[in-house]
């Protein structure tokens, strides 16, 4: 096999120093105990960016031990308000270093810099500042249970958190987990995806600079089956927060049983975007196009199934095809690029396989359908029309720029089709009929329903799914539950201590 050459960066790039990256454990940058490294690649050029230390079970042990020590050390004794200040300092440092972070994220993942600048980076900062504000507002309740007792609850950090993240939004999804965990006073072992480990390591360094004590945030790049599995199985990890595939989600649930650690899972979807004939078609198709082609379709809530009413079906397909053809696919570093490559050769081949499956299943390939160029993992924006509900391209998450347009005849059928997959992450409804909108919102089985829009998320609003999309919610105050453990306190204030005696129990 040809070994790809190291990427050539412009002389001005701050990333030139970055040819080798080590693990971040207990505040120190160190090689893995095995001494092994793996290479991470720029999917736009197929060139190697850096060698990254590969964490294994022994390194996970060390990272978990460092996190446990930090939990009971300086971090555990810090005022909650000071935890919030530390999060704000991290936000400042990310802002100061954003140009390099954006470039690094783009190199490692193939995401267009323009999209990272417009969407991911602002979301990272918003997430940090939002949870910074929560740090000193995580309160319990006093609950008047009875007159001879003072009874109240406190909410303590759940402990050591293992965060396992995917490659589609490394910075943003990473921060969705880090910010609430740290605000709640937990310590974290973060395992980034093996395809995109670089920005997580940089965030770990910035956290140290921001004054987080060593061991509060440990970053351990490595492979899922080794580093990821070791973290999930670890008896001294209290909680796993995961975003990725349902297959791995199920594996995590089984492996977490050892010490019954708490688990939240965000596992993607096959989200329906329903367009009724009374919708603003221009707005609907515009949003439907970005709903499936944004980030090359590598989005958990991608609107991969566009359900169009029979009366407007042909028009929706035609307009969607026109929009797909107008998308500029290319160099993620160029400002005008709307769509970059897929993250890896494996992912590209998976998507190209699904395109073949769609053709074999008898769907009409309306546009796209192939690789773009022969260097980099680019796939053209693809639209399948005449897609049958039972087809695999209608049922399975492709995680690429492939839209399936499905015809429906009435509201009832639209709901049946929309709910008719294993997934339940998100759904969209386009209609001007307010009664219809409310009926649909009530019947759609999804964690989020968008009406006359598709795709926005906000850290203040719960995010997550049901069924094969996983369980638990991130974002908002609801995510604080993920990282805290309630403790009930009962203080006898009634004089003689009251215990349940055998005599009173038996009368």
Residues of the shown chain interacting with ligand NAI in the complex, contacts defined by CB under 6 A: 164-168, 191, 193-194, 223-225, 228-229, 232, 243-245, 248, 251-252, 266-268, 300, 350, 397, 399
| For ligand NAI, the closer CB: 228 or 424 | 228
Distance between CA atoms of residues 178 and 496, nearest Å: 46
Stretch that binds Mg ion, among 34-42, 226-234, 267-275, 298-306 (CB under 5 A): 34-42
| For Mg ion, the closer CB: 7 or 210 | 7
Q: Which one of ligand NAI, Mg ion, none interacts with residue 213, CB within 5 to 8 A by kind?
A: none
CB within 8 A of 264, min separation 6: which ones? Answer: 239, 240, 241, 242, 464, 470, 471, 472, 473, 474, 482
Least separation in angstroms between residue 344's CB and Mg ion is: 7
Catalytic residue among 184, 300, 440, 474: 300
Catalytic residue among 194, 233, 266, 474: 266
| For Mg ion, the closer CB: 104 or 427 | 104
Q: Are 418 and 293 in contact (CB under 8 A)?
A: no
Among 18, 26, 27, 40, binds Mg ion (CB under 5 A): 40
Smallest CA-to-CA distance from 177 within 264, 237, 57 is with 264
Q: How many Å is the Cα radius of gyration of the chain?
A: 24
Q: Six-digit token pair at 240? A: 């796993």
Q: Which one of Mg ion, ligand NAI, none interacts with residue 468, CB within 5 to 8 A by kind?
A: none
Q: Which one of Mg ion, ligand NAI, none interacts with residue 133, CB within 5 to 8 A by kind?
A: none
| For Mg ion, the closer CB: 331 or 411 | 331
Distance between CA atoms of residues 192 and 222, nearest Å: 8
Task: Looking at residues 194 to 233 of the shown chain, list those that interact with Mg ion (rule: CB under 5 A).
Answer: 195
Residue 347 near Mg ion by CB under 5 A: no
**Environment class of 294 (CB within 10 Å of its CB; exposed 0-12, middle 13-18, buried 19+):** buried
Q: In what order do the strands lie in the sheet with 470-471?
A: 28-30, 23-25, 217-219, 187-191, 160-164, 239-243, 262-266, 470-471
CB count within 10 Å of CB 301 equals 27
Q: Which one of Mg ion, ligand NAI, none interacts with residue 238, CB within 5 to 8 A by kind?
A: none
Least separation in angstroms between residue 49's CB and Mg ion is: 6
Count of residues touching Mg ion (by CB under 5 A): 4
Q: Is 184 a catalytic residue?
A: no
**Environment class of 186 (CB within 10 Å of its CB; exposed 0-12, middle 13-18, buried 19+):** buried
Residue 380 near Mg ion by CB under 5 A: no
Distance between CA atoms of residues 218 and 26, nearest Å: 6
Least separation in angstroms between residue 112's CB and Mg ion is: 15
Least separation in angstroms between residue 350's CB and ligand NAI is: 6
How, if at all, do strands 272-275 and 305-309 pair?
parallel
Q: Six-digit token pair at 67? A: 């996190």
**Environment class of 140 (CB within 10 Å of its CB; exposed 0-12, middle 13-18, buried 19+):** middle
| For ligand NAI, the closer CB: 42 or 397 | 397
| For ligand NAI, the closer CB: 225 or 373 | 225
The DSSP 8-state label assigned to residue 17 in this structure reads G
Distance between CA atoms of residues 297 and 384, nearest Å: 14
Q: Which one of Mg ion, ligand NAI, none interacts with residue 108, CB within 5 to 8 A by kind?
A: Mg ion
SS3 call for 5? coil
Least separation in angstroms between residue 350's CB and Mg ion is: 16
Distance between CA atoms of residues 304 and 323, nearest Å: 15
Q: Which one of ligand NAI, Mg ion, none interacts with residue 266, CB within 5 to 8 A by kind?
A: ligand NAI
Least separation in angstroms between residue 253's CB and ligand NAI is: 11
Chain residue at closest Cβ approach to ligand NAI? 224
| For ligand NAI, the closer CB: 197 or 214 | 197
Instruction: Report the DSSP beta bridge partners of residue 403.
Output: 383
| For ligand NAI, the closer CB: 244 or 376 | 244
| For ligand NAI, the closer CB: 316 or 343 | 343
Q: Which one of ligand NAI, Mg ion, none interacts with residue 40, CB within 5 to 8 A by kind?
A: Mg ion
Instruction: Report the DSSP beta bridge partners of residue 240.
Output: 162, 263
Residue 103 near Mg ion by CB under 5 A: no
Q: Is 266 a catalytic residue?
A: yes
Helices (H), 192-280: 198-209, 229-233, 246-255
Least separation in angstroms between residue 44's CB and Mg ion is: 10
Least separation in angstroms between residue 251's CB and ligand NAI is: 5
Instruction: Report the DSSP beta bridge partners of residue 155.
Output: 486
Least separation in angstroms between residue 241's CB and ligand NAI is: 11
Among 108, 194, 397, 468, binds Mg ion (CB under 5 A): 108
Q: Which one of Mg ion, ligand NAI, none interacts with residue 399, CB within 5 to 8 A by kind?
A: ligand NAI
The DSSP 8-state label assigned to residue 137 in this structure reads G
Q: Kindly list the residues in this chain that would bind Mg ion in the complex (CB under 5 A).
A: 40-41, 108, 195
Which residues are known catalytic residues? 266, 300
């Amino acid at each position: 096999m040809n070994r790809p050459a190291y990427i050539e960066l412009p002389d001005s790039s701050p990333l030139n120093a970055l040819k080798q990256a080590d693990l971040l454990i207990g505040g120190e940058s160190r090689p893995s105990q095995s001494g092994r490294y793996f290479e991470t690649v720029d999917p736009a050029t197929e060139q190697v960016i850096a060698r990254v230390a590969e964490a294994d079970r022994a390194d996970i042990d060390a990272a978990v031990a460092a996190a446990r020590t930090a939990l009971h050390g300086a971090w555990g004794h810090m005022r909650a308000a000071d935890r919030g200040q530390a999060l704000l300092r991290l936000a400042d440092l990310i802002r100061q270093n954003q140009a390099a972070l954006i470039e690094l994220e783009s190199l490692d993942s193939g995401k267009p810099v323009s999209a990272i600048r417009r969407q991911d980076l602002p979301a990272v900062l918003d997430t940090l500042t939002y949870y910074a504000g929560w740090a000193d507002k995580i309160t319990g309740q006093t609950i008047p249970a009875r007159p001879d007792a003072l009874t109240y609850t406190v909410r303590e950090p759940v402990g050591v958190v293992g965060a396992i993240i995917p490659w589609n939004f490394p910075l943003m999804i990473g921060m969705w987990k880090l910010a609430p965990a740290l605000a709640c006073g937990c310590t974290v072992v973060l395992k980034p995806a093996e395809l995109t480990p670089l920005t997580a390591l940089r965030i770990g360094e910035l956290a140290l600079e921001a004054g987080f004590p060593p061991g509060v945030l440990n970053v351990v790049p490595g492979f899922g089956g080794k580093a990821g599995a070791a973290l999930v199985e670890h008896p001294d990890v209290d909680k796993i927060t995961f975003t990725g595939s349902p297959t791995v989600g199920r594996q995590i649930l089984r492996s977490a049983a050892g010490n019954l650690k708490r688990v939240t899972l965000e596992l993607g979807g096959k989200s329906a975007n329903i367009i009724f004939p009374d919708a603003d078609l221009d707005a609907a198709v515009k949003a439907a196009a970005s709903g499936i082609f944004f980030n090359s379709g590598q989005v958990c809530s991608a609107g991969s199934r566009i359900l169009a009413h029979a009366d407007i079906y042909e028009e929706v397909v035609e307009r969607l095809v026109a929009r797909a053809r107008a998308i500029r696919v290319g160099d993620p570093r160029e400002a005008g690029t709307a769509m970059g490559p897929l993250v890896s050769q494996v992912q590209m081949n998976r998507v190209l396989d699904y395109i073949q499956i769609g053709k074999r299943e008898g769907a009409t390939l309306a546009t796209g359908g192939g690789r773009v160029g022969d260097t980099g993992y680019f796939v053209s924006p693809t639209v399948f029309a005449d897609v049958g509900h039972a087809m695999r391209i209608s049922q399975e998450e492709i995680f690429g720029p492939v839209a399936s347009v499905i015809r429906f005849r009435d509201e009832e059928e639209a709901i049946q089709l929309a709910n008719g997959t294993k997934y339940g992450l998100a759904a969209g409804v386009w209609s001007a009929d307010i009664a219809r909108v409310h009926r649909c919102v009530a019947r759609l089985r999804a964690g989020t329903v968008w009406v006359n829009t598709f795709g926005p998320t906000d850290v203040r609003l719960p995010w997550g799914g049901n069924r094969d999309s996983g369980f638990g919610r991130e974002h908002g105050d609801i995510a604080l539950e993920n990282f805290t453990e309630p403790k009930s306190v009962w203080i006898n204030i009634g004089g003689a201590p009251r215990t349940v005696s055998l005599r009173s129990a038996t009368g």
